[in-house]
Structure 1
Amino acid sequence: MASKPTSSGRGSDGRVAFLLLALPLGLLAATLIVPMISAINISLRDIRVIGSDGPFAGLDNYARVLTDGTFWHALGISVVWVVGNAVVQTILALTAALVLNEKFPGVRVARVWIILTWIIPTVVVVIIWRWLLSPSGGMVNPLLIQLGIIDRPMGFFASGPAAMTSLILINSWRWFPFVAIMLLAGLQRIPGDIYEAAAVDGAGAVARFRAITWPLLQPTLLVLTVMGTLLSFNVFDIIWLLTAGGPAGGTETLPVLIYETAFKAYRMGDAAAMSVVASVLMIGLALVLLDRLAPKETGR
């Protein structure tokens, strides 16, 4: 008969586990806490030249930022950007995941190839879409004209709304495969017996989706919603490379404004204050999403 583990043995295993986790957790905490402390310190100083140590300014930087219309405009653009990406990416990813969850010839190849748009470097994505959407020589305008959707070439980055719509579609095209793979993993964890029982009871495809698929995907969707919101809010590269916040500030999200304030206007203190305010807002939004979207336990 096998001997039961003693309490001292369990305590020794716990100490070993703690020692193994202490170093990576300490490094993770350092990479989060040290930059945060540095950002707060800079936000309380009037720093103009990068790398210099400016005089203490207290909360003046925060007061200037919070009363600046440019900051609130950029925050509003960021909200549009985040919501637009969330809606488009969720629709595309859920559709792709449902298709890839079916059994058809070549499904394994399709599951591999769908991630190609996710692994392409951002610079390559920008070059491809600049060429495709170009009013002269691009492929999208002639296609839309042939389909009768437009009657003449349009500038996809000529106005703020058009540029923002184009950016959302491009960013969603790049990132929806990642979300689709996560949703596909969630779909494959759902037992097939549940679908078979529902089909025997006469439930159609729509009824099975509403009663089985959608409720059981809620935990996965919760994680993706919170993570996707935070990641989308902090996207900088694709916006800067395609529009640099233009035209006329129509795509100037908060990360773009922070970059311009720090490295073009040389107001590091104001940029750090914006970063701290944005971090607080993102933490608050994440807590609200976790509270509102988490499944509620019903009382017995």
Structure 2
Amino acid sequence: MTPKTLRPARRSAGLLPYLLIAPALGLLAATLVIPIVSAVDISLHDIRVIGAAGPFSGADNYLRVLADPTFWAALGTSAVWVVGNALVQTLLAVIAALVLDQRFPGVRIARVWIILTWIVPTVVIVIIWRWLLSPSGGLVNPLLIQLGLIDRPVGFFASGPMAMTSLILINSWRWFPFVAVMLLAALQRIPADVYEAAAVDGANPLQRFFAITWPLLKPTLLVLTVMGTLLSFNVFDVIWLLTAGGPAGATRTLPVLIYETAFKAYRMGDAAAMSVIASLLMIGLAVMLLETLAPKEKRS
């Protein structure tokens, strides 16, 4: 073969991988683009009946949503929810990953069983925790009374702060194993020679953690922080099944408000406008987190 005939062959061979993944990419693009375009279209119309058309309203839905105090209250509740989940999940995940990175009898079984709470269906988790935290017949209240921490049963979903705290702990209990497994994989990529050299230099375990483990975990934590923030913001099932946004709207996050607006108040246009605004906020937050937490390259 001459060089002239080799070039088209190389060019076609270079295009082959892209042709093979083109159907999958097209399907992925369709599943992402079509709902987004549909949501934007609905947000520009005054739709009162699900599945029906409505007159074009332009930016009226957006202006009405932005002027609604309920929207801003739900957005503030979502911020508390996201921050609370991020802190609790990260703390539990780091502790669990450090424990599972050690060598002790049954560590392999522990590494498998830790993901049990992550794979259990949400409805089952809600039923279990509703029973455990029940003021009458639950197991948590009698245990706290025996330990002397409380003198009478507590209604974990009776007040706003207690309900939000309970929801954050339950959701974090469910999701921290996923973060822990990711951190464990990152920990196992750290060479043991680095720790041995630090130990020879006289560094204690705490110094080794902050000098070696924590800096090397930062890239993984960055990705998990962005993913966890987006996933936590969109959590609906746990909140709705346990409190339905109560008491008195104290746990009404933005996804819960969007659901109520669309399927209880039958204001599809307003709900779609909230969804679009929430999506833009999440994109902006993700970009801000990446810019703020990503390691900066040193310029010479």
Q: TM-score range by the shorter chain?
A: over 0.9
Residue 250 of structure 1 corresponds to 250
Q: Which residue of structure 2 lines up, in the alignment, with residue 151 of structure 1?
A: 151
Aligned-residue offset at 1:170: 0.2
Moved more, 247-256 or 25-34: 25-34
Q: Does 1:215 align with 2:215?
A: yes
Q: Is residue 2:32 matched to residue 1:38?
A: no
Bigger mean CA deviation after superposition, 248-257 or 19-28 = 19-28
1:143-199, CA deviations, whole angstroms, 9 ceiling, x for partnerless residues? 111111111101000011100000000000000000000000000111111011101
2:8 and 2:200 map into 1 onto residues whose CA distance is 54
TM-superposition CA deviations, 1:204-232 (whole Å, max 9, x none)? 10111101000001110010000000000
Residues of 2 paired with 1:139 and 1:159: CA distance?
Answer: 20
Aligned to 1:3: none
2:67 pairs with 1:67: yes
In the alignment, what sits opposite 2:123? Answer: 123
Give matches, 1:91-240, under 5 Å: 91-240=91-240
What is the TM-score with the length of structure 1 in the denominator?
0.97
Q: Deviations 1:54-90 (Å, cap 9, x if unpaired)? A: 0000000000000000000000000000000000000
Tell me whether 122-131 or 8-17 shows the greater mean CA deviation: 8-17
1:240/1:104 CA distance change after superposition, 3 Å: same
Q: Secondary structure at the match of 1:258?
A: helix
Q: Which amino acid aligns with 1:247?
A: P
Question: In the alignment, which residue of structure 1 is the partner of 2:25?
Answer: 25
Please name the residue that 2:54 is paired with: 54
Distance 1:103 1:152 in 2: 42
Unpaired segments of 5 or more residues in structure 2? 1-5
Aligned Cα root-mean-square deviation (Å): 0.9
Rounded Cα–Cα distance in structure 1 between residues aligned with 2:295 and 2:96: 25
1:92 deviation in Å? Answer: 0.2
AA matched with 1:79: A
Letter in 2 for 1:242: L
- The runs of at least 4 aligned residues of structure 1 exceeding 4 Å deviation read 6-10
- Gap runs ≥5 in structure 1: 1-5
Offset at 1:13? 3.0
Q: Does 1:297 align with 2:293?
A: no
Secondary structure at 1:167 match in 2:
helix
The alignment's TM-score, normalised by the length of structure 2, stands at 0.97
In 1, Cα distance between equivalents of 2:131 and 2:292 = 42
In the alignment, the residues of structure 1 paired with residue 81 and residue 23 of structure 2 have an alpha-carbon distance, to the nearest angstrom, of 37
**Displacement of 1:12:** 3.1
C-alpha distance in 2 between matches for 1:57 and 1:295: 45
Partner of 1:283: 283
Q: 1:295 to 1:9 in 2, by over 3 A?
A: farther
In structure 2, the residue matched to 1:263 is: 263
Partners of 2:287 and 2:28 in 1: CA distance: 21
Letter in 1 for 2:141: N
Local SS of the residue matching 1:251: coil
Give SS of 1:247's match.
coil
Question: Structure 1 pair 7/106, CA: closer, same or farther in 2 (3 Å)?
Answer: farther
Shift of 1:10: 4.4
CA distance in 2, matches of 1:206, 1:88: 21
The alignment status of 1:78 with 2:66, answered yes or no, reads: no
